[in-house]
């Protein structure tokens, strides 16, 4: 069968009229670009009949909702006689909102003079709503992830970093210190005779005591470069970059006196109050130093401080 290569104008008109999409034609030579044609698809989409639309600008579909960024894109494209695709909030005859994906093209005559604009309109409400839900779900998921991360990296009792976070931070700070040849200090602080404190005063008092000392250490090492963590039951670890070994010694010294000044009674301790011991290292790490090794050396320094007695300190370089 021969396929006719040209289609008649009647067929063209029928095809446009019966298209599923909304199709509109506006006269570009008249002020306000009034509509001179709307197809049945556009009537179905908007709930208006052609007689209510012809002669008007389609802008009325926006109602009072004219503060939409995509309208500016549309305006600019129309001004430059270019084509564009925008998605706008439009309102049907019954007032209900729908997302209208409008594809606009300009029509020029044989002299190149702009004569008409053609708009093809589609209801994309389902797609936009789905996109919005997806975006919201993504945001919720992101927030949940952040919350999970915080939970996984926070000690629930004291509300500061936990061992996992500390080891991550120590690893990162070690790399930075190795790269920049900076001084890195790792400090381990431990409550003296804490087991006996717990036995005498009970778990709840023990928890309060840990919180008070933890708060104090956190406030004491509040610089951005420091990470303070509850490393083990009654043990806190601190990593800090920069500064000097003397500075760290003074810091630890002050911290010990601040803990004493908390005046938490501890009748099983010769000091009568809760005290801490602190041990640490302060050095410019070698290229092959590992976080594990630094922690071991800081723990060994703490053991040495403990050997000296309650309320002692020992920092090595
Ligand atoms: C052929 C044609 C179809 C259009 N169809 C729509 C439409 O479906 N929805 C809409 O909000 N705006 C449509 N517009 C755009 C508005 O009529 C108007 O040009 C736009 O809001 C920017 O002009 P303004 O600054 O006068 O509001 C169409 C414009 C033309 C020329």
CA separation for the pair 184, 287 (Å, rounded): 13
Average pLDDT, rounded, for the chain: 94
Domain boundaries, the chain: 9-128, 157-316
Select from 78, 102, 103, 107 the residue to mutate for testing ligand 1; criterion: most ligand atoms less than 8 Å from CB.
102
pLDDT, residue 247, reads: 87
pLDDT, residue 244, reads: 87
The verdict on the CB of residue 71 being under 6 Å from ligand 1 is yes
CA separation for the pair 130, 110 (Å, rounded): 43
Closest ligand 1 atom, residue 32 Cα: 26
Q: Which protein residue has the closest C-alpha to ligand 1 atom 7?
A: 58
Provide the CB-side half-sphere exposure for 269 (13 A, CA): 24
CA of 88 to the centre of ligand 1 (A): 10
Is the torsion defined by CA of 220, 193, 196, 263 positive or negative?
negative
Closest ligand 1 atom, residue 118 Cα: 1
Q: Name the CATH superfamily, with its identifier, for domain 157-316.
A: Reverse transcriptase/Diguanylate cyclase domain (3.30.70.270)
CA of 104 to the centre of ligand 1 (A): 9
DSSP string, 125-188: HHHHHHHHHHHHHHHHHHHHHHHHHHHHHB-TTT-SB-HHHHHHHHHHHHHHHHHHT--EEEEE
The verdict on the CB of residue 142 being under 6 Å from ligand 1 is no
Q: What is the CATH topology of the domain spanning 9-128?
A: Beta-Lactamase (3.30.450)
CA separation for the pair 223, 48 (Å, rounded): 66
Select from 74, 86, 97 the residue to mutate for testing ligand 1; criterion: most ligand atoms less than 8 Å from CB.
74
Length of the chain measured in residues: 317
pLDDT, residue 4, reads: 64
CB 223 within 8 A of CB 240: yes
The verdict on the CB of residue 26 being under 6 Å from ligand 1 is yes
- Is 157-316 the same fold as 9-128? no
- Mind listing the pLDDT tens digit for each residue in 222-247? 776 689 999 999 999 999 998 888 98
pLDDT, residue 3, reads: 65
Neighbours of 205 (CB within 10 A): 14
Q: How far, CA to CA in Å, does 257 sit from each of 227, 233, 303?
A: 21, 22, 20
Of all helices (H) and strands (E), which one includes residue 87? strand 84-91
Closest ligand 1 atom, residue 88 Cα: 11
pLDDT, residue 6, reads: 81
Provide the CB-side half-sphere exposure for 16 (13 A, CA): 15
Whose CA is closest to 182, among 246, 219, 236, 225? 225
How would you write the pLDDT of the chain (317 residues) with one tens digit per residue?
A: 666 668 888 998 999 999 999 999 999 999 989 999 999 999 999 999 999 999 999 999 999 999 999 999 999 999 999 999 999 999 999 999 999 999 999 999 999 999 999 999 999 999 999 999 999 999 999 999 999 999 999 999 999 999 999 999 999 999 999 999 999 999 999 999 999 999 999 999 999 999 999 999 999 887 766 899 999 999 999 999 988 889 889 989 999 999 999 999 999 999 999 999 999 999 999 999 999 999 999 999 999 999 999 999 999 98
pLDDT, residue 189, reads: 96
CA separation for the pair 290, 167 (Å, rounded): 11
């Amino acid at each position: 069968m021969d396929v006719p290569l040209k289609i008649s104008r009647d067929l063209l008109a029928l095809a446009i009229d019966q298209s599923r999409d909304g199709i509109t034609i506006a006269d570009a030579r008249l002020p306000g670009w009034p509509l001179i044609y709307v197809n049945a698809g556009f009537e179905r989409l908007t709930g208006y009949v052609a007689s209510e639309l012809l002669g008007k600008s389609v802008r009325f579909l926006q109602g009072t909702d004219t503060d939409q960024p995509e309208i500016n894109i549309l305006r600019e494209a129309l001004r430059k006689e270019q084509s564009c695709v925008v998605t706008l909030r439009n309102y049907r005859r019954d007032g209900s909102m729908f997302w209208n994906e409008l594809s606009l093209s300009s029509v020029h005559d044989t002299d190149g003079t702009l004569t008409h604009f053609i708009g093809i309109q589609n209801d994309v409400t389902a797609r936009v709503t789905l996109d919005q839900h997806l975006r919201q779900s993504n945001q919720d998921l992101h927030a949940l992830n952040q919350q999970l991360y915080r939970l996984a990296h926070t000690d629930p009792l004291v509300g500061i970093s936990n061992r996992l976070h500390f080891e991550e931070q120590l690893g990162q700070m070690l790399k930075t210190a190795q790269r920049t040849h900076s001084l890195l200090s790792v400090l381990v602080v431990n409550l003296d005779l804490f087991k006996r404190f717990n036995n005498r005063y009970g778990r709840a008092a023990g928890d309060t005591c840990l919180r008070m000392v933890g708060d104090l250490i956190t406030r004491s090492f509040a610089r951005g470069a420091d990470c303070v963590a509850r490393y083990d039951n009654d043990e806190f670890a601190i990593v800090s970059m920069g500064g000097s070994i003397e500075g760290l010694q003074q810091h630890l010294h002050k911290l010990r006196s601040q803990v004493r000044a908390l005046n938490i009674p501890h009748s099983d301790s010769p000091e009568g109050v809760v005290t801490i011991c602190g041990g640490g290292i302060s050095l410019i790490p070698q290229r092959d130093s590992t976080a594990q090794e630094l922690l071991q050396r800081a723990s060994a320094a703490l053991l040495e401080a403990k050997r000296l007695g309650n309320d002692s300190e020992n920092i090595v370089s």
